[in-house]
Structure 1
Amino acid sequence: MVALVRNNNPFTVLVLFIYALVINYGALFNPQLPELVDGAFLYNIIVNFFTIVFFKSAFAFTFISVIMVVLQGLFLNSIANNNRIYNRPSYTVTFAYISLCALYTPFVQFSQPMLANWAVIFVIRAFFHLPHANKPRKIIYNTGFIVGMAALLHFPFVIIAALLIIAVVTLRPLNPGELMVAILGILTPIYFAAGMLFLFDVLFWMRGWVSLGINLPRSMASPVYFIGALSGVIILFAMGVYVLQHAVNRLNVYTRRGWTAIYIALFVLVLVALFTPFDVKAAWLILMPSLALIVGNIYYHEKNKAFSNFAFYFTLALVIFCKMTGV
């Protein structure tokens, strides 16, 4: 299987989808309906709509969530391949993303962070497209609009707006017009949402939308699971940084800037997760897109095949360990 994810073979997509179903068997066999969140009016509307569409089927929600994880992994993978941020195209990013999301069951359950992760991926895409875009304002506005929608779903994502503005300022020559386009894109969905709430005489919902908290890693039923999972992720992250440091000199200046932005994004996303209300179990899911890009680089270390093989089987062992010891 390690050779399969290294290759850019479309057949790999089917294998990775089956892999996602197998490693998330616990969530699929014990599905849960998503809970409504106080103040998150847009998320609650979406949940109520799909509850009707799925006839209150918890399995349907969980199955759609697993599919969403696979699609997000494929989207991340296409960003990596199209912008040549690795030495060659492969499906290692998709494999890394699916594996990381499988470490904690709430990560593959329908939730605000799962929906908002699309915004994280679009911002990462903007990191690599902005420096040489022919129509940068279109990319900036569309990305800002998606960030604004994510903030409506999950208020702490307002912090991501700062990340987009930093990207506009640092990845391109300073242009006040582009900066205003980014701010306009972020505010547009919030403005229209406020207008719709006003028309339906429920504008007071906006007060409940503003919600921050402290979301430190919660006490686990199994300390062995928590320590093992955290240690495993740190090891994978360190391996990814190690490989990237050896490959950075072969990357062009735009790709190096993109990688710098990803590291900055990882720090900002830690703040977003940290200030998420405690009752949101999947708060730390938003770190997975950035981590998957960093970790995805270790599965085909050209100078040391034993290293990449070890990384691959270590990832599988970590997933199995978390499934056996987790909650």
Structure 2
Amino acid sequence: MISIFKVFNPLNVLWLAILIFVLRIGYVAEAPDKLQFIFVEPFARLLIPASYEYAFSPVANVFLAGVIVLGQALLLNYLVNYYNLLGRSTFLPALMYVTLTALFTPFMTLSAPLICNFLVIWMLFKLFSFYKSDDAKSTAYDLGMIVAAGSIIYLPYIYLFLSIWIALIIFKPVNWREWISGILGYATVFFFFAVFYYLNNKLGSFYHIWAPLGTKFPNSINIKYYNYLVLVPVLLILVLYFFKLQQNYYKSYVQVRKSFQLLFAIFLIGAGSFYVKTQFNINHFLLCAVPAAVFFSYYFITANVKWMYESLYLLLLISIIYFQFNTF
């Protein structure tokens, strides 16, 4: 399958749709009677007064999530090819994204982190543009507004604001006006949000929006480790990716090297911000799927031993499907 997606062929969109169906059919068969979908944070519920949490049946919920994943996969694929991060045009980023968004059953349903991945991809388009821009103030302002919008949908997204400053450090000389522009963009959205609170006589509780950011990082998390054995092939591919990147790092263009540094920073920020939500939800780590898909693609595009990389991807697929039916 990897060999098919290494080639940039529009017919691969059909194969992606088939793969999305195959990876989710097992979950649909075992899905609960109701699936909750929360689109915005509780503090933004005033914006959507109607009840929508159970508006979709389980089948419709998973179907719509699959359509969203396909759209995001194609956008990510366009992003990677546009900035030539892999050295040639390919459909591997789309394949890897579709695969990673099926790792766990909570990944397969509609959720706020899944919606936020549109914003992650949108941010990457703008962040990568820093490299060739003479003046990034307007772009940084736009990015601040995107982060603010993401925070309304899913509060831990606020930490991706750090990616704006990290990108400015990586791609450009220090310019304090560009750093401030991101803050102004974020403040603009929440200024209008404060006005909305004021008009609804809720201004006194406005500052409570950011209270969860004071949550202490947990000392331990109670999880069933057997449910996460599917991560074994994932970790193996990540190790192989870092090995391949180390081999080819200085052979790549400067922009490509800097882009991978930024992607790694976004991966760490996404992974580390899970503790903001009082209840641990594995679907938070969908925020890591975009950079991880690029990492996986880099390994598979540079791997030379066909039987090895094809077997490794097949192992990952089998693990995903197996753990859909076995939760121990």
TM-score (norm 1): 0.87
* Aligned twin of 2:66: 66
Report the Cα offset of residue 45 of structure 1: 4.9
Offset, 1:39: 5.5
User: What does residue 163 of structure 1 align with?
Assistant: 163
Contact 2:37 2:110 (C-alpha < 8 Å) held by counterparts: no
Structural mapping, 1:216-295, within 5 Å: 218-220=222-224, 223-226=225-228, 228-295=229-296
Question: Matched residues in 2 for 1:162 and 1:105: separation?
Answer: 29
Contact persistence 1:34–1:47 (CA under 8 A): no
Unpaired stretches in structure 1, ≥5 consecutive residues: none
Amino acid corresponding to residue 219 of structure 1 in structure 2? I
- Kindly state the Cα deviation for residue 116 of structure 1 after the two structures are TM-superposed: 2.1
**In 1, Cα distance between the equivalents of 2:38 and 2:44?**
10
- Identity level (%): 20
What do residues 38-79 of structure 1 show as CA deviations (whole Å, max 9, x unaligned)? 95233685694756xx95434333322221122222222111
Task: Give, in whole Å, the separation in 2 of the partners of 1:217 and 1:91.
Answer: 36
For the structure 1 residues 40 and 205, does the alpha-carbon distance in structure 2 shift closer, same or farther, using more than 3 Å as the test?
farther
Query: Aligned pair 1:33/2:38, yes or no?
Result: no
The answer as to whether partners of 1:81 and 1:89 remain within 8 angstroms in 2 is yes
Cα distance in structure 2, aligned partners of 1:243 and 1:154 = 34
Deviation of 1:172 (Å): 0.9
Query: 2:40, 2:85 → 1: CA distance?
Result: 40
CA–CA separation in structure 2 for the residues paired with 1:169 and 1:142: 18
Partner of 1:91: 91
User: TM-score under structure 2 normalisation?
Assistant: 0.87
Following the alignment from structure 2 to structure 1, what is the Cα–Cα distance between the partners of residues 127 and 15?
A: 29
Q: 1:321 to 1:135 in 2, by over 3 A?
A: farther
Q: 1:318 and 2:319 equivalent?
A: yes
Query: Following TM superposition, by how much is the alpha carbon of 1:149 offset from its aligned partner in structure 2, in angstroms?
Result: 0.7
Q: Aligned partner of 2:4: which letter?
A: L
CA spacing shift, 1:301–1:247, aligned 2, 3 Å: same
Conserved? CA contact 2:40–2:154, under 8 Å? no
SS of aligned partner of 2:273: helix
Given that 1:39 and 1:209 are in contact with CA atoms closer than 8 Å, whether structure 2 keeps it comes out as: no
- Structure 2: give runs of 5+ residues left out of the alignment: none
Summarize deviations over 1:135-164 as a string: whole Å, max 9, x none. 633332222211111112222222211221
